[in-house]
Structure 1
Amino acid sequence: MAKDFYGELQLGILGGGQLGRMLIQEAINFNVNVHILDPDKNAPCRKLCNHFECGSLSDYDTVYNFGKNLDMITIEIEKVNVEALEALEEEGVIVYPQSRVIRLIQDKGLQKQFFKQNDIPTSAFQFISNAESLKTANLLIPYVQKLRKDGYDGKGVKMIRTEDDLPNAFTEPSIIEEIVDFEKEIAVIVARNDRGDIKTFPMVEMEFNPQANLVEFLISPSTYSFEIQQQAEELAKKIANDLQIVGLLAVEMFLTKSGEILVNELAPRPHNSGHQTIEGNITSQFAQHLRAIFNLPLGDTSAISNAVMINLLGEDGYEGLAKYQGVEEALAIDGVYIHLYGKKYTKPFRKMGHVCIVNPERELAISNARKVQEILKVIA
């Protein structure tokens, strides 16, 4: 694909949310024509792309007809019609990440099987077909229950702490996982092009909002030992090579209190754990994803500075037309970069934007990020 396509390539993105929006911002630099399919007529990408189509991402005919005249399709969300992508691939449309990769990652059960078959360390797990099979599960309570399909951003996950939680458990096909006694949740984003070139971004440390189960605070680069960081990055490379993926892959992991790294979940696209790369690294995750799917040389992933990313979530108790409080006050702090996603309506814990805070001094970057968290609010 690394040929004279600039300005000619017709690139389709399934999903028109914030990830698509930030991909478009990078695609403009390549002079690529971007087509977006999204079910929301007010999607953040609607006014930024060359062509916007409002339609279902899970409907075969909609996805097929959207993609049949395009050169290449990529995704910003995994919940898409894979059968349509398979048909498009057969007809010569390039789909990256490949439909087989998307199919595997759509199903958390298949993900776990993939980890087991490829000797990738992960927590103990068991398949659950219905509510009755929970009663005879081999894993002892407490454990985490995850829907095999359609879970995202903390949805589709339940903690089963005691037998009293069983009546509220999911009844659909799911997996249960041993609860990991972790010290820190970490992530590595890895990129691989069709030539097999592969590069990782430096490992990052994450903190989650306990109510929404969303990444709330991310610190890059990590200060854990070189050995731990190298182990995490090599694990991400192994997974990308085992999958033979083309594009970006986010690998979310647990670092246990004993120093073991266990892989939690995968996302075959730009990811929330890589937003800080826009200001914090030489190459952003969005530029790297495009380089990978266009089969171009991968960019330098080195960190430029200490960077902290915080998600702007809709405040609890507010729902309606979004209003942003504290923008001017937050921007008065040096090294603060605000990214608003253009979502018209807010609701509790909805991702409405993110902020990256950079500073040569790690502790100052962290303290400034805490200030921004207190200042900047999304209300209605």
Structure 2
Amino acid sequence: MEALMAGILAMILAGGEGSRLFPLTQNRSKPAVPFGGNYRLVDFALNNFVNADLMKIYVLTQFKSQSLNIHLRRAWRVSNIRDRFIEAVPAQQRVSKNWYSGTADAIYQNSRFITKNEAEHVCIFGSDHIYKMDVQQMVDYHKEMGGDLTVAAIRVQKEQAFHFGIIEIDEAGHMIGFAEKPSVEDAKTIPGDPDHVLASMGNYIFKADTLVEELEKDAAIEDSTHDFGKDIIPKLFPQGKVFVYDFSKNKIPGEPEHAYWRDVGTIDSYWEAHMDLLNDNQPISLYNKHWPLHTYHPPLPPATFRDQGNSVSHVSKSHLGAGSYINGATIENSILGFRTHLCTNAEIKGCIFLGNAKVGSGARLTNVILDKNVEIAPGMVIGENLEEDRKHFTVSENGIVVIAKGSRVGFD
């Protein structure tokens, strides 16, 4: 098996600015945004490769990458014994004086690593989606079909088509049509299923020689956007050597049968993905010993609960991070990260805390996201009067209130 995997190189695109996740991306890149109490978004892509024993990985960074680099150094240090590595590669302007101008350009500016590692196939994956995938199964399919490119795809509601590259395939699995983020009216639905489209997950496996050749051609085109979805794939699939991998066929022991993949590109989708983790039937397991989710865990004690007088702590359908101190508070349908401190009679419902938060006595928070290092004054009420909240905080389309990193609310 090791010999079969030796020619596989992974390049993970982790330079995303993530402007639609503001203010969570005010001081960090999108892949570095914390998720699920313990993790960062980039951890899901990395675990998909590491658990598949694909251990030659470059993580390409660009925007506000300091927190991401710190996390990679703490959580993903790998000995270079037997040619295994996970290395962060910042944008270095080696090819030109420009920063990355698109996904394809990011790979083009780092294509020397493909030659250096004598790669036969290159996996190019995004780093800001929530899912589990045995990448080795996709590699096996790619090799079996013998194409130049294999694109992972998933079925999504037609109303969401404008967020994705929309794919058409024939019975043999060839890509025969591709439209990058079409309007809902123009999106081609799946034959026999007018309510769904087949969406690209932004995960690609190329034959290395084909990839380098296509990137060089694209780099020479002045008006190209240098993007895989807009430029590379539309030129490549008419040649008949682009195949589509059905993500629903990817099976991992201990995981639910239904394929789960969530794009967390907006505040609302980010909040919804957290709520998915709290469902009675979790669509993705955080407890699967067959597919562990590795990350960095700071040296902290277990979460502690203390009752004070008539104030009794109550926790329902929630996750609490290590180092948390709950002193007679109520927590419902929430995910609270490391070092959460809730004082007497605080009420937390439908909330996500990214870590190191303190909520004062008697405060009530409903459907609120707290970035790190936030302190809420006693008696504050947030999430119940959205018109008032909009005067002070970011409020999403669906009414999720976001409080920026380092805020001290109610102490003026």
TM-score bracket for this pair, using the shorter chain length: 0.3 to 0.5
TM-score by length of 2: 0.31
> Based on CA coordinates, which of the two structures has the bigger radius of gyration?
2
TM-score by length of 1: 0.33
